[in-house]
Amino acid sequence: MPKIKVKLESKIDSSYEISIEKGITAKIPAYLNKSKLGKKYAIITDSKVKGLYADAFARFLRKNDIDCEVFSFQHGEKSKTLETVEKLAEEMLNKNFDRNDAIIALGGGVTGDIAGFLASIYMRAIPYIQIPTTVLAMVDSSVGGKTAVDLKQGKNLIGTFTQPKAVFVDISYLKTLSPKQIKNGLAEVIKYGVIKDKELFNFIEQNIEQILKLDEKALNKIIAQSLKIKAEIVEEDEKEKGQRMILNYGHTYGHAIEKLTNYKLLHGYAISIGMILANKMATEKGLLKSEDAERIKKLIKNAGLPVVTMKKPSMNDLNSDKKRDGDYINFILATEIGKVTIKQIKCK
């Protein structure tokens, strides 16, 4: 029998820029007109951000001769489902969006995940950009190309790696963010300090009050440094085959805690508890000094984040985690502030 080879060596450059500037949203029309990502744009947002920003943003784009429509879903993690994606896709089809168009994700982490996933499968993939409106989305979920929705068995189990074409970080959006949501995002910033940057950790320790008060200088520093770390890790390991796994510090337990609370506990709050539980495991294994574990715990508490949970997830609760590898689960364990290691722990 003859053999026919299909040569598909990748020649795609998925590089993009993260622009961090207060008020940068005003420059987005110029970017869209120059890049010509789409003939028209679907602005994907949630029910809260729609009234706060999305409708006004759509009017602003139209004033700049950019054709767009706003599509929204119910605010909250419970909307991160295939059903929501299907509903949004049908609404886009009803408005005649095709493969020559593009998506704008305007919102927090849930919006970014849903919009990115929709972009990756709509008409077999259309471009999208990220405009994060929360600290969590700004420092973490808007960058790296992870898109996903949840299943009843666990979080982010259906998704793709699809990089955005650009990310615009505008801290002006944070003025309407609740203190609870500010703290929610800070958990991911603390994570970056523990896994990769002791100086960032020290800065958060020394400036936590200013950060919680939304001091612009302090915010710009922690957001920019967090994104620098994320970008470096993603460049090294885009599809999470190795080094990128360290970004999951606190997430193995954290995702299970979110599920146990039926997603009533915010992501950052669950990750904070997850970091504490991971540190406990690390100290028990002799990997992390108790002084460092206590220092991390103190910072998490000072940031107004929880350090205990009503019910610690069992290994059975962790079985559906994406980080599972056969009978083992990959845990990211701190060895000191600024360094972590990947350990496989048997889950059966």
pLDDT tens digits for range 72-131: 999 999 999 999 999 999 999 999 999 999 999 999 999 999 999 999 999 999 999 999
Percentage of the residues of the chain whose pLDDT score is greater than 90: 82
Q: Please compute Rg for the chain using Cα positions.
A: 20
* Residue ranges of the chain assigned to CATH 1.20.1090.10: 178-346
Least confident of 98-102, 236-240, 284-288: 236-240
Parallel, antiparallel, or unpaired: how do β-strands 339-346 and 328-336 relate?
A: antiparallel
Q: What is the model's pLDDT at position 346?
A: 72
Does the pLDDT of residue 178 top 80, yes or no? yes
Question: pTM for the whole thing?
Answer: 0.92
Q: What is the rounded CA–CA span in Å between residue 39 and residue 113?
A: 23
Q: Compute the average pLDDT of residues 238-254.
A: 91
Q: What is the model's pLDDT at position 288?
A: 97
Q: Who's near 229: CB < 8 A, 6+ residues apart?
A: 192, 195, 196, 197, 200
End-to-end CA distance of the chain: 45
Parallel, antiparallel, or unpaired: how do β-strands 166-169 and 17-20 relate?
A: parallel
Per the model's pLDDT, the better-predicted residue between 20 and 262 turns out to be: 20
Q: What is the pLDDT of residues 206-232, one digit of tens each?
A: 999 999 999 999 999 999 999 999 999
Residue in the block written with tokens 């002084």: 291
Residue in the block written with tokens 């028209």: 40
Contact assessment for residue 222 and residue 206, using Cβ atoms and an 8 Å cutoff: no
Q: How confident is the model at residue 134 (pLDDT cuts 50, 70, 90)?
A: very high
Parallel, antiparallel, or unpaired: how do β-strands 17-20 and 102-107 relate?
A: unpaired
Does the pLDDT of residue 7 top 90, yes or no? no
Q: What is the rounded CA–CA span in Å between residue 289 and residue 51?
A: 48
Q: What is the model's pLDDT at position 323?
A: 58
Q: What is the model's pLDDT at position 348?
A: 58
Residues taking part in catalysis: 124, 146, 188, 230, 240, 244, 248, 251, 255, 267
**CA-wise closest residue to 47 among 72, 82, 80, 84:** 72
Does the pLDDT of residue 322 top 60, yes or no? no
* Mean predicted lDDT score pLDDT of the chain: 93
Q: Who's near 116: CB < 8 A, 6+ residues apart?
A: 105, 128, 130, 145, 146, 147, 160, 162, 164
Q: What is the rounded CA–CA span in Å between residue 170 and residue 133?
A: 8
Per the model's pLDDT, the better-predicted residue between 326 and 103 turns out to be: 103
Q: Compute the average pLDDT of residues 17-40.
A: 96
Q: How confident is the model at residue 320 (pLDDT cuts 50, 70, 90)?
A: low
Q: Who's near 78: CB < 8 A, 6+ residues apart?
A: 263
Q: What is the model's pLDDT at position 347?
A: 66
Per the model's pLDDT, the better-predicted residue between 346 and 184 turns out to be: 184
Q: Compute the average pLDDT of residues 181-194.
A: 97
Q: Who's near 270: CB < 8 A, 6+ residues apart?
A: 254, 255, 257, 258, 261
DSSP-H helix ranges across the chain: 28-35, 47-49, 55-63, 82-94, 109-121, 135-136, 179-196, 198-212, 216-236, 251-260, 267-284, 290-302
Contact assessment for residue 22 and residue 170, using Cβ atoms and an 8 Å cutoff: yes
Q: How far is CA 9 from CA 5, 6, 77, 241, in A?
A: 12, 9, 37, 19
CATH of domain 178-346: 1.20.1090.10
Q: Who's near 51: CB < 8 A, 6+ residues apart?
A: none
* Residue ranges of the chain assigned to CATH 3.40.50.1970: 17-175
Q: What is the model's pLDDT at position 13?
A: 83
Q: Who's near 164: CB < 8 A, 6+ residues apart?
A: 16, 105, 116, 128, 129, 130, 142, 143, 145
Does the pLDDT of residue 271 top 60, yes or no? yes
Q: How confident is the model at residue 310 (pLDDT cuts 50, 70, 90)?
A: confident
Tell me the CATH class for 17-175. alpha beta
